[in-house]
Amino acid sequence: MAQKLSTLGHFEAGRCSRLQHKLPQGNPYKFIEARDHVESIRDKTIAALQYHRSPRKGGQYENLGGFLASERISFTAKLLREALPFELGRNAVPGLEVMNNPKVFNQFHSAVLNQILPDIAYGVTLPRGELTMIELIRICETTLDLMNTSLRQLGIDR
């Protein structure tokens, strides 16, 4: 049986995947795409949490933004465990690295390694359900703040 990757493992898998597809220097498009994807993860998790707190009778087949209401617990757990760290490794960190601003890159990269990934690793240990959803929303908000700060430091208005 295949062993599940850790949070850092998913991040590193994203980084390795990016090595096969180099990004053009000086173009922030992948960093901006990653920011939009983190925002989408947050929004999907908010929808899942709202349904979780106020389920509707017969609503288990309701589409919450790419997943069914009945899938909300496993889907948000997968977003936290796999999708978010992979996105940071594949697009966010490399997308900022090609901007040729070592100070901004180092601040963001350090925050990902020392704050965001450990927060994700902690979130994965929580019981699936409302607590995981709340933690994922918090992590996405923190990540978005960091990403928006990086964009401002680069002089990119978003």
pLDDT, one tens digit per residue, over 39-65 is 999 999 999 999 999 998 889 999 999
Structure tokens at 108: 């963001």
Provide the Cα torsion 129, 77, 112, 134; round to 10°.
-20
CA distance 65 to 128: 19
Query: Quick check: is 38 in a domain?
Result: yes
Residues spanned by the domain of 132: 8-15+27-153
Prediction pTM value: 0.94
Query: Quick check: is 21 in a domain?
Result: no
If one counts every other C-beta atom within 10 angstroms of the C-beta of residue 106, the result is 12
Query: Quick check: is 101 in a domain?
Result: yes
Structure tokens at 144: 């978005």
Residue 157: which region, alpha, beta or left (left: phi > 0; alpha: psi -120 to 50)?
beta
Please report which confidence band the pLDDT of residue 5 belongs to, taking 50, 70 and 90 as the band edges. Answer: confident
Instruction: From residue 82, give the alpha-carbon distance in Å to each of 88, 100, 150.
Output: 10, 28, 23
Please report which confidence band the pLDDT of residue 1 belongs to, taking 50, 70 and 90 as the band edges. Answer: very low
Number of domains in the chain: 1
Query: Quick check: is 149 in a domain?
Result: yes
CA distance 126 to 77: 10
- Looking at residue 60, what DSSP letter applies? G
Q: What is the tens place of the pLDDT at every residue in 88-143?
A: 999 999 999 999 999 999 999 999 999 999 999 999 999 999 999 999 999 999 99
Query: Quick check: is 143 in a domain?
Result: yes
Query: Quick check: is 44 in a domain?
Result: yes
Query: Quick check: is 1 in a domain?
Result: no
